[in-house]
Structure 1
């Protein structure tokens, strides 16, 4: 792929597919959700090989190390070769989801639960909490 000597951080984050648009990447930089060594950076910051960036995108946090400079957006398989995701396992969404209780959902359009339904839901929630407390 085409590599460049100079590349802006917003364009880099867009090209490695961390953000859907370059504008979203630029806005994240302006809002302080992209950091280099703990300090906020501007969208015009020049990316260098070996730098490590912390990127926050909603509840997800990624730590990305630059391994190559990618000028234009390409397919996901190619883009993976231009960065290393060094996010600790404890911070990944899959790891966090193991510790959450299952969501109880009702089918759409069924209306409000009856008094009987509500009691069954409460009993089920209480059982889940008791089991979780016993595990710890």
Structure 2
């Protein structure tokens, strides 16, 4: 099976054309050699893929006849990716989900005010207590000079 079709069949890429584009950009190699889309894949081959700044390594166990379901993927490939790479991926996801859950959109006015309050720190004035005389007392003292 062609490597672009294989990567699409085992759900590494959403479409076959995306897989072919990634292969053209030299982000996929078999063994230690970069390949073309027409490269045939055989059981036992070690494929290295650079995707989302992560270096994946997969070993081909079987060749599927066509695109397979997500539950059947482990029957056809074995993940040989370093644990460090998986940790990098987890850290990226945590950093993205830290402030806003996916789909919530842009920060609201309240979020902006909360961020401004956090940045400014505790700069509370006496006006919050309703003591306006203290607020204007500095202005009156300057006029008397």
Distance 1:82 1:117, change over 3 A: same
Calculate the aligned-residue CA RMSD, in Å: 2.7
1:47-106: CA deviation from partner (whole Å, max 9, x where unpaired): 0110101111112321000000012102111122101001111111467529x8797637
Question: 1:55 is matched with which residue?
Answer: 49
Structure 1 or 2, whichever has the larger Rg, is 2
Give the TM-score normalised by structure 1: 0.70
Question: 2:118 is matched with which residue?
Answer: 117
The answer to whether residue 63 in structure 2 is matched with residue 83 in structure 1 is: no
Paired residues of 1:9 and 1:45 also in contact (CA < 8 A): yes
Figure out how many residues of one structure are paired with residues of the other and give that number: 113
Please, which runs of 5 or more residues in structure 2 have no aligned partner? 101-105, 122-145
Question: 2:28 is matched with which residue?
Answer: 34
Q: Matched residues in 2 for 1:44 and 1:32: separation?
A: 13
Please, which runs of 5 or more residues in structure 1 have no aligned partner? 1-6, 121-136
Paired residues of 2:7 and 2:13 also in contact (CA < 8 A): yes
Question: 1:25 is matched with which residue?
Answer: 19
The answer to whether residue 107 in structure 2 is matched with residue 108 in structure 1 is: yes
1:87-133: CA deviation from partner (whole Å, max 9, x where unpaired): 111111467529x879763771226457543144xxxxxxxxxxxxx
Larger helix percent: 2
